[in-house]
Structure 1
Amino acid sequence: MLSYLESGKGIPVVLVHGNFACKEWWRELLQDPPVGAWLLAPDLPGFGESPAPEDFIPSIPAYAEALRIFLREKGAEEAILVGHSLGGAVVMEAAHTKVRGLVLINSAPPSGLNTPEAYYPILESYRHNREALGQALATMAPTRRPPWFPELVEKAQRMHPVHFQGNAQALAAWRLEKAYSGPVLVIHGSLDPLVTRAMAEETAAFFPRGKLLVLETTGHSVNVENPGALKGILEGFLKEVQGEVQGGR
């Protein structure tokens, strides 16, 4: 069972964190959930308080399977899946016909995300260099970081040891084979130093019902930079999904 946080009542909305992250990256949204949403924020295997086997090999399909099991255990298979960064790849891979919609926040594109070989030793060094890790994570939230940001850095450094390089390798090896057919909202922060506007456009174009929303004053992590704006976006998406259900689409 994955460790998780929850709040609110209504349609299940499952929040999936990115690399070097955990369920706490959604803390402020969980404290003030969107109207009509039952928020569930799990830790993927090897992150936060969710253990992973010592010989665990990170892969997007492995994370997606863990997420599918979590959805079944919580009775939330008809959820809206929200994925941030690496979590975007996970929810794309995990989506099935019962899922009501996808929200992809500065997500890795369906074609995968390559990390230059020269960066892998740097990723590994973060296991022992908290200051450098903190600086790297700060660039992923350039416009605002919550008061407990040092806690997020500490939790990042406690990831499963194989994650430091293994998650970048997993994203480089991954390709999405089949496009989810339901509504997909792609959110892109224009100040993101990692995921480009072109990648976000590629992601939206991949899905038959993909839409792109660009946030001009946000970086990679609207979930910590502007959780109030994310709440409003999710409320709008919830209304869209509910309207489709009522209309029998």
Structure 2
Amino acid sequence: MVSVPDHVPTLIPTLGIDTRDWVYGDPAGRPIVLVHGFRGDHHGLEGIAEALAAAQPSLAIHVPDLPGFGSTPAIPGRAHDLETFGQWLVAFTENVAPDGAIILGHSFGSLVVSSALHQGARATRAILINPISAPALEGPEAFLTRLAILYYRTANALPERAARSLLGNPLIVRGMSEVMAKTHDRELRAWIHDQHRRYFSRFADSRSLLDAFRASVSHTVAEFAADYDMPTLVIAGDRDDITPLARQLDLTRLLGEPELMILPGVGHLVHYEAVADTVSRIGEFLAPALSASQESSA
């Protein structure tokens, strides 16, 4: 496997900023773009990227940090709403895959992918992992969502240093991690908690973070169902606290019965708890397209 070292991302011009893009596999291969979730960065999808590169060495796997997260700066003068994130992904994919890309989104990334498709992103295939399929202010988790809104609004009212201290509070981050992790493997749980500790608070500023949070709880993939006119794979955990499985099944009907993989005993952290199964299923989903590409280039 060939990969760009973690400390040397490629800089991709997008909407006036240089997006940091980590590439795994063959940089000259067929492009697939992986879009991470809210408050994460490229590290969240690194396990999937590395395993996919090992299994499918003909792919160029791009894992950028979203604007305002990780090493990518916020976009100056722009609200970081879903429309802006979608425009950013359109610009990014046009740069790294002018002929169209396979695009994967996890959690909030599924909303970014959906917004980009609505705004004209060229995707040959789409993969949604733990897509946001239910309104955050409805259902059994509505109360927790309102608490989260209050949390982010409180942080936004504070001076930046105090806001960052509150948003990155290790007890709050650990509590979130404990709730979302479903595995009973102690070693894996410890690793998940460490990943959240190290990477969950790498954001540009509290203002852009609040914008992104509002976007994450104000939209669902269902709003953009008509834009999924390409082969699509949905991967969901049956213990997802963010979107119940029943609502994921509702989404698949709106998407025209895409391919579906349900992972038993897994929640919202498919990208941590079920990497091998996920990559194997993605390989099956991509096999027809990759075979066609190899035949056309022969």
TM bracket, shorter-chain basis: 0.7 to 0.9
In 2, the alpha carbon distance for the partners of 1:47 and 1:217 equals: 29
Q: 2:142 matched to 1:102?
A: no
Larger-Rg structure: 2
**Please, which runs of 5 or more residues in structure 1 have no aligned partner?**
none
Tell me, yes or no, if the aligned pair for 1:145 and 1:224 is still in contact at 8 Å: no
Deviates more, 1:223-232 or 1:236-245: 236-245
The letter for the 1-side match of 2:93 is: L
Which string of whole-angstrom CA distances, capped at 9 and with x for unpartnered residues, describes residues 127-153 of structure 1?
Answer: 141221122034333224473743443
Which string of whole-angstrom CA distances, capped at 9 and with x for unpartnered residues, describes residues 48-79 of structure 1?
Answer: 00100465422122111111111122235521
**Please, which runs of 5 or more residues in structure 2 have no aligned partner?**
1-17, 156-165
In 2, the alpha carbon distance for the partners of 1:203 and 1:245 equals: 30
Partner of 1:20: 39
Q: 2:135 matched to 1:118?
A: no
The letter for the 1-side match of 2:237 is: G
Going from structure 1 to structure 2, the CA distance change for 1:220 and 1:3 (only over 3 Å counts) comes to same
Secondary structure, counterpart of 2:259 in structure 1: strand
Partner of 2:212: 167
Secondary structure, counterpart of 2:276 in structure 1: helix
Instruction: Work out which structure has the larger RCO, using CA pairs closer than 8 Å and 6 or more positions apart in sequence.
Output: 1
Corresponding pairs, count: 247
Q: 2:177 matched to 1:142?
A: no
Give the alignment's TM-score, normalised by structure 1.
0.86
The letter for the 2-side match of 1:122 is: Y
Going from structure 1 to structure 2, the CA distance change for 1:220 and 1:91 (only over 3 Å counts) comes to same
The letter for the 1-side match of 2:30 is: I
Q: 2:237 matched to 1:189?
A: yes
In 2, the alpha carbon distance for the partners of 1:67 and 1:97 equals: 8
In 2, the alpha carbon distance for the partners of 1:38 and 1:44 equals: 18
Give the alignment's TM-score, normalised by structure 2.
0.73
Q: Which residue, out of 266, 270, 273, partners 1:218?
A: 266
Partner of 1:205: 253
Partner of 2:9: none
How large is the Cα RMSD of the aligned pairs?
2.7
Partner of 2:110: 88
